[in-house]
Amino acid sequence: MQRFTTVSAGEHPKRLDVYLSTHTADLSRAAIQRLIEKGAVTVNGKRPKPSQKVKPGDEIAWDVPKPEPLEIDGEPIPLDVLFEDKVLLVLNKPTGIVVHPAPGHWRGTLVNALLYHMQSTRAASGAEGESFASIGGRERPGLVHRLDKGTSGVMVIAKTDAAHQGLSKQFKTHSINRVYLALVIGSVKGRTGRVDLAIGRDTKHRKKISARTTSPRAAVTEFQVAERFGVKRSGHEATLVEVHPQTGRTHQIRVHLASLGHPLLGDETYGGRKVCAWDDLCIERPMLHARTLGFTHPVTGKYLEYTVPPPADMEALLRLLRSKRMMITLHRQPF
């Protein structure tokens, strides 16, 4: 598959391999260097060297070989199934599990668990030909949406191509009801808010998403404050926010809240090490939970909605914050 890009105005001259590695989400710098060496990359129609500097106006084309299909095996990983019928499955995803196979995570993913679940279900029922939707490809069978490794909560999985198409359309038209709980550092101003900020792959850090991008995509997040913790003069404040994403971009909630100066507790990528601890408690993952998911069943037309409480680590942190708030309140009361 051939791809094209033109170096935009204002771009500083930089090495071709560096430029492409910051403008492609799925290729590392080493992979790009291999493509250049194979002659699969051209600049203004000519074969370049990896060290060639590109400048505004340069036209770059590169061929990305089609990946060989992976043989993905089912693995007996427990699933918290909330609902299941012949065309879809709703589950409560735990933290710490990657949704689909990718470099560095070829096994132990949610897809591995789903394949094993389907194989076991088919064997138990004697059903023939039942499998997850093929639209997502071998690596992402049945996946209509995804949650980050550190994010917990409700997900819906398509078991047929028709269900995949019906659910995907709802996500595309933003008719899905999605509610997240986000625990952020600092005291969020006001009771409600809205972030309308286009985001995309960061031009300098290819694993990050930001507004500093050459391929911005519209992204809108609405939120309301649920609880506040701590006091300003103590230097320790946090806010529990109920988030309603109107679009579904990668890392959208994390990036949008960080853009307000309120990164998620535990989100080192967008908040640094300072947000990864509270008192003596180490926070090892972003405190983000997909609490509610509501959608129309693609076959029956019935509206379905599922809500799950936050996982144990987030509940423990909330209890700590509430206990600290209560201690402050008691300390202030006159004797």
Catalytic (active site) residue 267: no
End-to-end CA distance of the chain: 75
User: What are the residues facing 227 on neighbouring strands?
Assistant: 240
Query: Is residue 194 within 8 Å of residue 220, measured between CB atoms?
Result: yes
Using the CB atoms, write b or e for 239-250: b if 16+ within 10 Å: bbbbbbbeeebb
CA dihedral sign, ordered 27, 32, 38, 43: positive
Report CA Rg, the chain: 23
Burial of 114 (0-12, 13-18, 19+ CB in 10 A): buried
Helical axes 29-37 vs 16-23, angle rounded to 10° = 130
Cα 40 to Cα 227: distance, rounded to the nearest angstrom: 54
User: What are the residues facing 225 on neighbouring strands?
Assistant: 241
**Phi and psi of 224, rounded to 5°?**
-145, 145
Q: Are strands 53-54 and 177-185 parallel, antiparallel or unpaired?
A: unpaired
CA dihedral sign, ordered 123, 125, 126, 128: negative
CA-to-CA dists, residue 98 to 66, 142, 204, 283, 332, angstroms: 23, 15, 25, 19, 45
Burial of 126 (0-12, 13-18, 19+ CB in 10 A): exposed
Residue tagged active-site, from 26, 80, 85, 148: 148
Active site residues: 148
